[in-house]
Amino acid sequence: MKKRLFIKRSRIQSPAERVFRWHRRSGAFERLQPPWESVRILERTGGIEPGSRVELSVGVGPLRQRWIAEHQGFLVPKVGQGDTIPEFWQFQDVQVRGPFAHWIHTHKVEADGNDACYLEDRIEYALPWGRIGDWIGNPVMTSKLKRMFAYRHRVTASDVAYHSGPEGDQVMKILVTGSTGFIGSALVPFLTTAGHQVSHLFRSMSTKSHGKEAAIAWNPEEGVLDLASLEGFDAVIHLAGENIASGRWTSQRKTQILESRSKGTRLLSETLSRLTHPPKVLISASAIGYYGDRGEERLNEQSSPGSDFLAKVC
């Protein structure tokens, strides 16, 4: 078994403690997964503290494999007195079961003064199938790791910088519908890594088994939504709607697509309007389908709507 070492190190213009805190928050793992990688979380226990585990499904299509990683090597230094700056923070992912013969991933955040740090990912790994696997797979693996961690470091730096803005320390309670959809699955981790408290509005409470403990049930078709459960939110983000790409657009299907949006939005809006303390803002997603197919015409917010089905739905 030949062990290899991959290191990616970047300087981030943000305090080390803030960058490490971002990694500790819910959603960091999801934020760090490149969109081209097919990774699903099957089960997770704890955060990144020692003994915490995450079980993943990795692979392409039906060719998938379980990957179980345990967190170890957790180190949070004591904050120094006066101008003393803690040296570094770190945690490790150690493969318990998975596709590699050996895998230890050390995440390290090293202070560079008070306002900057170095983010370092150090991976010690060995490919399966001995020398043959190493000879065939290592060039591919090296290229894959370079691309993946270039992406991860860009996301980390970008998110931390954004969350460190003028309103970055204002923690909000946010309710999201459609949180498991295309936009919601990216938006929720972005919000939780900023420290916001996110709750989910679900049609099926069985989704709680996927780690969405802060869940509220509703049924737009039957007009069911508990008024009291919506009290206290600062913002509501409404993304729910039938998937337009999940089947042929029969007359029945078109009705489902339209009513899943109109009934849900109406129920949510009317319920929020009756609250004693309504949220400051309701954001309801639409789409560029509003404009219809206009070819090469340049469109903006003042452009007229289209005339096809999706334009009418929007």
Please answer whether residues 96 and 103 qualify as being in contact, where contact means their C-beta atoms are separated by less than 8 angstroms: no
What per-residue confidence (pLDDT) applies to 80? 57
Summarised one tens digit per residue, pLDDT across range 139-193 is 999 999 999 999 999 999 999 999 887 555 688 999 999 998 889 999 999 999 9
CB-based contact 55:67 (threshold 8 Å): yes
Return the pLDDT at 136: 85
Alpha-carbon distance 174 to 89, whole Å? 30
pLDDT at 63 over 90: no
Where is 92: in which H helix or E strand?
A: strand 88-97
Two domains, one topology: 4-163 and 173-313: no
User: What confidence score (pLDDT) does residue 83 get?
Assistant: 55
Strand order from edge to edge, sheet including 224-225: 224-225, 215-219, 197-202, 173-177, 235-238, 281-284
What's the Rg (C-alpha) of the chain? Answer: 23
Q: Which residues contact 261 (CB under 8 A, 6 or more apart)?
A: 240, 241, 242, 313
- CATH number, domain 4-163, options 3.30.530.20, 2.40.160.20, 3.40.1280.10, 3.40.50.2300: 3.30.530.20
* In the predicted structure, residue 210 carries a pLDDT above the cut 50: no
In this prediction, residue 209 carries a pLDDT of: 40
Residues 176, 237 contacting (CB under 8 angstroms)? yes
Percentage with pLDDT > 70 across the chain = 93
Q: Is 129 helix (H, G, I), strand (E, B) or coil?
A: coil
CATH of the domain spanning 173-313: 3.40.50.720
In this prediction, residue 206 has a pLDDT band, given cuts at 50, 70 and 90, of: low
For residue 200, give every residue at least 6 positions away whose Cβ sits within 8 Å of its Cβ, in sequence order, or none.
Answer: 175, 176, 177, 179, 188, 207, 212, 214, 215, 216
Instruction: Provide the 8-state DSSP code for 25.
Output: S
Helix (H) or strand (E) holding 30: helix 28-32
Domain limits, the chain = 4-163, 173-313
CA angle 176, 177, 179 (to 5 degrees): 75
Averaged over 80-97, what is the pLDDT? 80
Burial profile 194-221: b = 16 or more Cβ within 10 angstroms, e = fewer: bbbbbbbbbbeeeeeeeebeebbebebe
- Return d(Cα 215, Cα 89) in angstroms, integer: 33
- Tell me: pLDDT of 95 over 50: yes
Nearest to 194 by CA among 223, 219, 222, 159: 159
> What is the value of pTM for the model shown?
0.85
